[in-house]
Amino acid sequence: MLKTFPPAVRAILIANVVMYGIQIFFPSDSLTYLELWPLASDLFRPYQLITYAFLHATPRAGHFFSDVNSLHLVMNMFALWMFGRGLEAVWGPRRFLLYYFASVLGAALTQLTVTALAGNGYPTIGASGGVFGVLLAFGLTFPRQKVIVLIAPYPIPAWLFVTLYGIAELFMGVFSLQSGVAHFAHLGGMLGGALVIVYWHATGQIRMR
């Protein structure tokens, strides 16, 4: 089945699943250094700006194979598959990977800024920043594509879905709702992706619909 997935989406999905398996079956304190720690922490390392996006469980939790961790991974990978396939078909795998990791980096830098301002000492993990960047690109590339939302009675255009989702993330971040979720990192993923799209569009490398 994975052979039917475009190569970049497939590679990201497999890497995340493999890393989750390592966290479950081969837990190690060294995995702590792959998480994104705040700048003020002695555990921060520059490479964490990328590696955090391949983790969906934390060694300190003690329960690697939990419903929360599994759902985190499944939801991120499902969204990547759902929205990433169309983008990769239009952009190609190389451009898609560049965009995805720009979103991951944008999410990481945003999260580091927020944690520094808030004095937060907790690490960040998960591919959500990259996925939110993909979501933004999908809405801009296929604005009229209908998206099925569970809480809505009928499909809505992708541009509206992305807009409402972004507003919801901003609202939850500002008012500190849904504790344990890095809402500003999600927005940072969108911001990182948006900057790349603006550059590509300005230089004529892509055309938006």
Classify residue 97 by burial, with Cβ atoms within 10 Å: 0-12, 13-18, 19+. Answer: middle
Residue 34 and residue 165: Cα distance in Å, rounded? 28
Among residues 128, 176, 179, 183, which one is catalytic? Answer: 128
Q: Scanning the structure block, which residue is given the tokens 């490479």? A: 47
Radius of gyration (Cα) for the chain, nearest Å?
17
Cβ atoms of residues 100 and 137 within 8 Å: no
CA 99 centroid distance within chain: 11
**Single-letter amino acid, residue 62:** G
Residue 182 and residue 189: Cα distance in Å, rounded? 11
Q: Are strands 146-147 and 156-157 parallel, antiparallel or unpaired?
A: antiparallel
Asked about 186 being catalytic, the answer comes back as yes
Which bin fits 118, alpha (ψ -120 to 50), beta or left (φ > 0)?
A: alpha
Among residues 56, 72, 183, 186, which one is catalytic? Answer: 186
Catalytic residues: 128, 186
